């Protein structure tokens, strides 16, 4: 494909068998052996720890692992300190399932908080510090009607009146202006993801939408309408990670983490806002780590906080050349039965977006797909999946972006 530079590093088959080779350092392969999540949506009467408990217990049961076997815990959460007045969510949640005494780390990287926790857990196991770890993402952002989320208040842009949908509207309008992307193509992202959501019992919204319904819903920031934006949600998700040795007893269900990458924005002042360099860089590095390219992917979950985001992520991940994301959704290539299905879970738009939990839940979906356990939305024979999420606006750029590649060997 033109304009793409996803170089593959030559890695010997023999070495890859037991060790991943990443940018010169030799690290251990890490497997996901258990996954769990709550339904995403409104859980007004359930606490953060109650949601986290359900997700972690499901993951432990799924792995067939007891709490005392876990050697470290990593928990992503973005907004509990400001919304619930709660800090140390990881210690609270993990103790609910009987995990104490071990190192526990809380991570905050806005929407990438949960996926950052996964990367921390991956590093700990890959680096030989722990043989088994738990990763969780937990969030409650559904507030009583009329309550405004107070996010980003320390930024000059927010104080001047910038709002999340407005920032993405600027990007959408630039993409439309430069590449001819249409409002209908933007709307189709929401239509596709809401359809997928109807097949996912964990999704917040279970109703299909038409292009007309998306276009005619309330205008939020031109061209983004209400159904072009993901909702506020409550929910939790969890994963159990371990070494190849530990994964042996559950081998048929284990999924290997072939790449785990975290990048930070460069805040380049006059950058091209129709793409995120922070994401292109993360994707390149992830493909290099996994020794594969975008053409090898069979299922993808991306951060569709707004419809335009998904279109730009197609381009950033190399699923299509820059500027052709609108055409890719338009021709149905990313539908469940398309060439490269994206957001089979329903994505943030339909499944919901409990900020710190979303990055972990994307990986839960990829693993269900790779194991063949995704029910009505199952993609046939999927073996290689990718999850991408990014978070936090800073100076018109993105603070953090993660890309994970998962392979069912």
Partner 1 sequence: MDQSWEVVQEGLFYYPLDAGQVPALLANRCTHCGKTFFPKRNLCPHCFEEGVLEDICLSHRGIIYACTVVHIPSPVGIKAPYAYGYVEIPQNQIRIFALFTGADPFTFTPGQEVGLVVEPIRENQNGQEIIGYKFKPISSGH
Summarize as ranges the residues that interact with partner 1 (CB under 8 A): 148-150, 153, 156-163, 165-166, 169-171, 173-174, 177, 218-222, 269-270, 273, 396
Per DSSP, 202 falls in state T
For partner 1, the closer CB: 11 or 170 = 170
Beta bridge partners of 264: 400
Rounded Cα–Cα distance for residues 289 and 403 (Å): 11
Q: Is the dihedral of CA 155, 114, 198, 409 positive or negative?
A: positive
- To the nearest whole angstrom, how small is the minimum distance from the Cβ of residue 234 to partner 1? 20
- Residues 137, 402: contact at Cβ < 8 Å? no
Structure tokens at 344: 């089979």
The DSSP annotation for 97-115 comes to TT--SS-EEEE-BTBTHHH
How many helices and strands, by DSSP H and E, does the chain display?
15, 13
Question: Catalytic pick from 111, 229, 320, 401?
Answer: 111
Beta bridge partners of 394: 397
- Residues 123, 260: contact at Cβ < 8 Å? yes
- To the nearest whole angstrom, how small is the minimum distance from the Cβ of residue 319 to partner 1? 24
For partner 1, the closer CB: 163 or 215 = 163
Per DSSP, 307 falls in state H
For partner 1, the closer CB: 125 or 305 = 305
- Residues 281, 263: contact at Cβ < 8 Å? yes
For residue 56, whether the previous peptide bond is cis, meaning omega lies within 30 degrees of 0, is: no
- To the nearest whole angstrom, how small is the minimum distance from the Cβ of residue 190 to partner 1? 17
- To the nearest whole angstrom, how small is the minimum distance from the Cβ of residue 154 to partner 1? 10
For partner 1, the closer CB: 25 or 143 = 143
To the query of whether residue 56 is one of the catalytic residues in this protein, the response is no
Per DSSP, 147 falls in state P
For partner 1, the closer CB: 5 or 160 = 160
Rounded Cα–Cα distance for residues 394 and 152 (Å): 9
To the query of whether residue 111 is one of the catalytic residues in this protein, the response is yes
For partner 1, the closer CB: 130 or 173 = 173
- To the nearest whole angstrom, how small is the minimum distance from the Cβ of residue 182 to partner 1? 17
Question: Catalytic pick from 130, 175, 313, 353?
Answer: 353
- Residues 360, 114: contact at Cβ < 8 Å? yes
Rounded Cα–Cα distance for residues 244 and 390 (Å): 29
- To the nearest whole angstrom, how small is the minimum distance from the Cβ of residue 143 to partner 1? 12
Q: Which residues are catalytic?
A: 111, 353
């Amino acid at each position: 494909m033109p304009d793409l530079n996803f170089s593959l590093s030559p890695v010997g088959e023999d070495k890859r068998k037991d060790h991943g080779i990443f940018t010169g350092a030799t690290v251990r392969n890490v497997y996901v052996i258990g996954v769990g999540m709550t339904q995403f949506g409104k859980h007004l009467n359930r606490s953060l720890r109650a949601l986290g408990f359900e997700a972690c217990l499901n993951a432990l049961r799924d792995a067939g692992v007891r709490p005392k076997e876990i050697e470290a815990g990593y928990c992503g959460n973005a907004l509990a300190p400001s919304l619930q007045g709660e800090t140390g969510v990881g210690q609270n949640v993990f103790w609910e399932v009987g995990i104490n005494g071990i190192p526990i780390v809380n991570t905050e990287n806005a929407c990438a908080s949960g996926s950052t926790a996964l990367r921390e857990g991956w590093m700990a196991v890959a680096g030989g510090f722990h043989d088994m770890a738990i990763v969780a993402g937990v969030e409650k952002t559904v507030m009583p009607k009329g309550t405004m989320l107070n996010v980003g208040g320390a930024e000059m842009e927010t104080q001047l009146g910038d709002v999340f949908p407005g920032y993405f509207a600027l990007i959408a309008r630039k993409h439309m202006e430069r590449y001819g992307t249409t409002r209908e193509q933007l709307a189709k992202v929401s239509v596709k993801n809401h359809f997928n959501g109807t097949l996912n019992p964990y999704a917040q919204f279970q109703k299909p939408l038409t292009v007309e319904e998306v276009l005619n819903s309330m205008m939020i920031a031109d061209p983004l309408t209400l159904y072009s934006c993901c909702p506020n949600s409550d929910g939790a998700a969890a994963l159990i990670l371990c070494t190849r040795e530990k994964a042996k007893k559950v081998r048929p269900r284990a999924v290997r983490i072939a790449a785990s990458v975290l990048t930070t924005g460069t805040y380049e002042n006059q950058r091209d806002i129709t793409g995120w360099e922070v994401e292109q860089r993360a994707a390149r590095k992830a493909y290099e780590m996994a020794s594969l390219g975008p053409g090898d992917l069979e299922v993808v979950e991306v951060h569709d906080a707004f419809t335009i985001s998904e279109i730009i992520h197609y381009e950033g991940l190399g699923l299509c050349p820059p500027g052709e994301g609108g055409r890719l959704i338009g021709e149905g290539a990313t539908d469940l039965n398309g060439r490269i299905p994206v957001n089979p879970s329903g994505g943030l738009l339909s499944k919901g977006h409990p900020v710190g939990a979303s990055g972990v839940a994307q990986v839960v979906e990829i693993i269900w797909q790779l194991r063949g356990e995704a029910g009505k939305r199952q993609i046939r024979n999927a073996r290689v999946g990718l999850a991408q999420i990014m978070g936090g606006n800073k100076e018109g750029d993105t603070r953090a972006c993660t890309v994970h590649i998962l392979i069912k060997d």
